[in-house]
Amino acid sequence: MRPEILFRLFAPVASLPGIGPRYAKLVERLAGPHVVDLCWHLPSGLIDRRYSPKIAEAEPGRVATVILRVGAHEAPRSRRQPYRISCSDATGELDLVFFHARLDYLTKILPMGQERVVSGRIEAFGGRLQITHPDHIGRLEDLQKLKTVEPVYPLTAGLTLKPLSKAVQAALACAPELPEWLDPAYQARQGWPAWRDALSAAHAPQGPRDLDPGTPARARLAYDELLANQLALTLVRYHQRQQHGRVLRGDGRLRAKVLAALPFALTASQVRAGEEISADMARDARMLRLLQGDVGSGKTVVALLAMLNAVESGAQAAIMAPTEILARQHHKTIAPLAAAAGVEVELLTGRDKGKARRDAVERLTDGRAAIAIGTHALFQQDVNFRDLGMVVIDEQHRFGVHQRIGLAAKGHAVDMLVMTATPIPRTLVLTAYGDMEVSRLTEKPAGRQPIDTRTLALDRLAEVVDGIGRALESGAKVYWVCPLVEESEVSDLAAAKERWAALGARFGIRVGLVHGRMKGKEKDAVMSAFAEGDIDLLVATTVIEVGVDVPKASVMVIEHAERFGLAQLHQMRGRIGRGAAKSTCLLLYQGPLGETARARLRVMRETDDGFRIAEEDLRLRGAGELLGTRQSGMPEFRLADLAVHQELLGAARDDARLILETDADLQSVRGQSLRVLLYLFERDVAVRYLRSG
C-alpha cells in the first residue's frame, strides 16, 4: 500500500485548482496523470521581471515591470489594426498594444486615469515605446509580487505558461515534508538541502545558473530518482536470488545436432555468451542474464542453444517476443533447427484460436512440446507447462518487469535470459538492467554485407524516386520508412498513406503499405508478400524497426531522418544488408539541420557499430528518450540526466548495495524512509518483495 503521506501527490492532476477536463488532458500528455508528475516537470528557462525602470530609461528588448498611468483608449478602425492604450509616467509615454482585443475586458482592467503595474517586453515602434500583449497587469499593491523571476516550463500545443505555472504551484503546495532517506554524511558532504526545500528551489530559479543540472537542488532530486531506481533493481535481484534456483546442466547431445545443422560456424562472442549462460544455468541460483547484440548478430541461435540445454536437462523452455511478426520469425528460424535435433516446438500467438490453439496448449501441458515460442499469449491463464525451466524474453524494453515475473511464474525456479537488439550504453545497462548479468555479442556473422549509408536533402526526392526505380528493375526489394510526425493534425499514418499513394502512382501494384494500426493478420500478409511475394517496395511507419527478416531487401530510404533517434535509425538500417547484394541506406533530411541532428546523421554515416551509436545517442540526447520512443521497461528519468549525472549513478549504486548489506528488508528508521522513496518514484514492484514493516 502506498503510504498515506503520499496520497495527495498521487491524486489526479484534474484535482488541482484551475485544471478542468480540457487542461487535464493536456497536462497529462505533457507531464503525467498525477500531481507528483507536475513536481517533476522542472523549469527549462526563466523570465526576470525585476527590471523596473522609469519610461525614459526603459531599454527596448528587455522584459520590464513598470508603473503606468492609463491614458486614452484608441479603438482600431479595422480588424487588422491593433487596439492601443496610451500610458505615461512622469518621464515619458508608452503604448500598450492588443490584437483581437475584447474591449469590455480592457476597459475593466485598464481604466482611464488609474495607475497600474504592467510587465512585458519593451519594444520600440514608430519612434514610440510599446508593450504588445503584456504578460501581467496588476494594481500598485501587486508590484513586489510581479517584480520576480518567473520560471518557464516546457509546454505542449494548446497549453500556455500561465495555467501550467499555476498548476505547478498548486502541485508544489501538495508536497509534504518527507522523512529523510539520504545517508546524512553523504548529504552533508554534497551540501544538499532537504527534499522539500530542493523541490521548491528547483522550481524557483533566480538566475540562469539555477537551471544547471549540477545545482544542489537539482542534483539532490536527480540522486533521489537514481537511488530509487538502483535500490529497486538491487532489491528485486536480491530477493530473486534468495529463491532457490535449479541446476540445469544438459549433456550437449541436442546442441551438437543443431550446431551440425547450422550453415555457419558460431562467432567467438556467440561461443563466449553461450558458455556464460550455461555456467549460470548450472548453478542452483536463478539465472537473470541480459544478452545484448546488434540486429543480425545471432542472438536467436544463442537463445536456442540455451533452451536446448534446459531441454537436455528434462525441462521445457519458452521464448516470448513483443509482436506476432517477431514471434513468427523466431519460429521460422528455430523450428527447422529444433527439428534437426528431434525437438518439438509450438507457436502460440493471440491470433491462434479454437482447436489448433487447444492442441498447442495441450502439447505444452503434457510436455510433448519442449519449446514454446509466442507473444503475450504465453502468459494467459490457460497456458500451462509440464515443467518450464527456462524463459527467453526478446526485446525486453517492450515488456515491464511485472510481465517478466508473470511468465517466470509459469514454472518453478525459472532461469531467465533477456535479449535486446537495441544496443544500450553501459551507463544505461546499470539503470535498466542493474538486476542482471550481461553478455554482449560484438561481431556480425560471416557474410554480412556492409551498408553504404548516405545523407541527402529532401529537395532531391525526385532523384531518389528515380534511383528506386532503377533498383527495383535490377530485382532489389526496397523499404521506404515514413517520418515520425510531431504533434500536429497529421498523423504518422496519414504521412505514410500519402507517400504510398504517390509511389503507387509511379510503380503500381508492387508497392505495399504497413503501419502500426493494421491488424496482425493484415500486417503479416503484407510482410510475407514483401519477403516472398509480389510486393517489392514497402512503405512503412516505424513498425519495421523490430521485424521480419527479408534477405532480398537491399535498399532503405528513411524520410525525415533528422526526426529519429540514433538507436532507431540504426535498428531500421539493420533490416537491410542481410543477403548477398550490396546494400544502401538513404537518410533524407529537411534542412536547415540543428546541431544535434547533424551530429546524429554524421554518426550514422561513419559507423555501424551499435554500441558506439548507443553511446553517442546518450551523449546527444540524454537518456530520457534514448530508445526514440518511450518504452515500458526502460526507466524514464524525469530529473536525472545520465549524460551529466553519471557520478551520481555510481554513488546511488554503491549506496543501494550498502543498504542491501545492512538492511535488506528496509526495517530500520532509514529503511522506512527509503520505502517512501520507492513509492514516491513508483518503484512499487520492489516493495512487494519486502517483508511488511
The answer to whether the CB of 621 falls within 8 A of the CB of 565 is: yes
Strands 388-394 and 437-441: unpaired
pLDDT at 693: 33
DSSP-derived secondary structure letter, 284: S
What's the residue count for the chain? 693
Write the CB contacts of 184 (distance below 8 Å, at least 6 apart in sequence).
none
pLDDT at 239: 77
pLDDT at 691: 53
Amino acid (one-letter) located at 50: R
Helix 669-680 × helix 646-663 angle, to 10° = 130
pLDDT at 434: 64
- Give the bridge partners for 555, in sequence order: 478, 584
How many beta carbons lie within 10 A of that of residue 198, not counting itself?
A: 22
3-state SS, residue 503: helix
Query: How many Cα atoms occupy the beta-carbon half-sphere of 652 within 13 Å?
Result: 29
The answer to whether the CB of 441 falls within 8 A of the CB of 267 is: yes
Using CA atoms, how far residue 417 sits from 191, 280, 319, 400, 425, in Å, is: 42, 10, 9, 15, 19
Cis preceding linkage at 592, omega within 30: yes
pLDDT at 494: 77
Mean pLDDT of successive 10-residue stretches along the chain, which has 693 residues:
93 92 91 95 95 96 97 89 95 95 91 96 94 95 93 90 93 96 97 97 95 96 95 82 83 96 91 96 88 84 97 96 85 94 93 88 95 88 92 73 67 87 70 73 76 94 95 93 63 81 90 84 84 89 67 92 85 83 93 87 89 77 41 63 85 93 93 96 78 42
